[in-house]
Amino acid sequence: VAAVGGGGLQGYVVQRLLLAVPVLVGVSILVFAVMHLSPGDPAAIMLGAQATREDIERLHRDLGLDRALPVQYGRWISRVLQGDLGRSIPLGREVLPEVLVRFKATLILTAGALAVALVIGVPAGIVSATRQYTWLDRLSMGVAVTGVSLPVFWTGIMLIIVFSLTLRWLPSAGMYSPYGGNLADLGWHLVLPAVTLGTASAAAIARMTRSAVLEIVRQDFVRSARAKGLGERAVVGRHVLKNALNPIVTVLGIQVGTLLGGAILTETVFSWPGLGSMMVRAIQARDYPLVQGGVLLIATTFVLVNLLVDLLYAVFDPRIRYE
């Protein structure tokens, strides 16, 4: 972690947050440019075959799409800075409350997936590191490689076919049943999407855990611990894992980003009412304000998660200081 001026932890956090501003401005320019320069016209998509020249022109005028791009960007970003993300083009709803509601659902899914990833990934990594080159190691790493390679939409559809269509154990779509809405109902609906989304991350975490643990296991203090007569469980649990945590936390931070991205496909497969499934539809409709608002929210989250990971380093490794 680079030292960035005085002021201790507080100053460090403030400076990191200030550094996030140019990042977010860059993101805003990039997403605006990509959306507006890619072919497609929200008015034409809305109107389809019934389009008349007059209606298209009137829509462009009413939506402000007839202005030059820099002017459109200027108008949008100046409103964003005042906390107004505008209104979605076909939805007619305000973007900010819309993306926040959806974001909540995405966070629930991401948390579920992260839990799946940790519960599978960390033990698998430890087992294959402590039993290096045994069949158990080969099996869990084989599964891990497969897990990383499976596309989310394929896993999702397979799980639907097996667990919803054939076995009828779990629902195939949505966050709540149409009639209900309690916590058990949510948990029941969360299983398949969380497993789908979490599998790939579990594999990544398992591999990182394995190499981190392997590196620590070879160090002198571990040998000393063993020489002291500590049981294997205590050695791994108390000494090895604690020291292997930093690389694992790093990969976790990256995984949060991957999960937020992967959520787009998972949410579409399972009709999960999150930001991802909404963004897919918004991109298809060239819903500029909604896509731009959604991307800004995801970028902000990613910046904050990265900061959090950097702060966690010091918790797990007291040698690290923020200046």
User: What residues numbered 53-82 form the site for another protein, per CB under 8 A?
Assistant: 53-56, 58-59, 62-63
- Site residues (CB under 8 A) for another protein, limited to 169-188: 169-180, 182, 184-185, 187-188
Tokens, residue 24: 């977010």
Q: Which is nearer to another protein, 94 or 137 (CB)?
A: 94
259 close to 247: Cβ distance less than 8 angstroms: no
Query: Smallest distance from the beta carbon of 12 to another protein, in angstroms?
Result: 38
Query: Between residues 19 and 101, which has the closer beta carbon with respect to another protein?
Result: 101
For the segment 264-293, give every residue that binds another protein (CB under 8 A): 268-274, 277-278, 281, 283-286
Nearer to another protein, 168 or 218 (CB): 168
Q: Where are the alpha helices (DSSP H) in the chain?
A: 8-37, 42-47, 53-63, 69-81, 95-130, 135-149, 152-159, 183-217, 220-227, 232-234, 241-270, 275-284, 288-316
Q: Which residue has the tokens 């896509």?
A: 291
Q: How far is the CB of 128 from another protein (least distance, A)?
A: 23
Residue of 228, 159, 223, 161 whose CA lies nearest to 194: 159
Residue 176 contacts by C-beta under 8 Å, 6 or more apart in sequence?
Answer: 185, 186, 189
Number of residues that bind another protein (CB under 8 A): 71
Select from 85-93, 118-126, 129-137, 242-250 the region that touches another protein (CB under 8 A): 85-93
User: At its nearest, how many Å lie between another protein and the CB of residue 71?
Assistant: 19
Kindly identify the residues of this chain, within the stretch 234-263, that bind another protein according to CB under 8 A.
none
Residue with tokens 């979605």: 88
- Beta strands in 119-271, from DSSP E residues, in sequence order: none
Return the residue of 27, 80, 95, 105 that touches another protein, per CB under 8 A.
105
**For 2-11, b where at least 16 C-beta lie within 10 A, e where not — what string?**
eeeeeeeeee
Q: Which residue has the tokens 């939506």?
A: 63
Residue 136 binding another protein, by CB under 8 A: no
Phi and psi at 87, nearest 5°, equal -120, 140
Q: Output the DSSP codes for 154-167.
A: HHHHHHIIIIIIIS
Question: Binding to another protein by residue 40, rule CB under 8 A?
Answer: yes
The yes or no reply on residue 49 touching another protein (CB under 8 A) is yes
Tokens of 315: 């918790």
Looking at the Cβ atoms of 188 and 316, the one nearer to another protein is 188
Please, which residue, 154 or 221, has the CB nearer to another protein? 154
The amino acid present at 41, given as its one-letter code, is D
Q: Does 37 bind another protein (CB under 8 A)?
A: no
- 193 contributes a contact to another protein by CB under 8 A: no
Closer to another protein by CB, 33 or 165: give it.
Answer: 165
Please, which residues have CB within 8 angstroms of residue 248's CB and are 6 or more apart in sequence?
A: 122, 205, 208, 209, 212
Pick the closer one to another protein by CB: 31 or 244. 31
Stretch that binds another protein, among 74-82, 157-165, 204-212, 236-244 (CB under 8 A): 157-165
Minimum CB–partner distance for residue 266 and another protein (Å)? 11
Q: Which of 98, 194, 240, 264 binds another protein (CB under 8 A)?
A: 98
Q: Any residues with CB less than 8 A from the CB of 252 and at least 6 apart, and which?
A: 114, 118, 205, 309
Q: Which phi and psi angles does 78 have, rounded to 5°?
A: -70, -35
Q: Which of 11, 15, 72, 90 binds another protein (CB under 8 A)?
A: 90
Smallest gap from residue 174 Cβ to another protein (A): 6
Q: In the bound complex, what is the minimum distance in angstroms from residue 311's beta carbon to another protein?
A: 31
73/92 Cα distance (integer angstroms)? 19
The partner residues of 94 in beta bridges, in order of sequence, read: 87
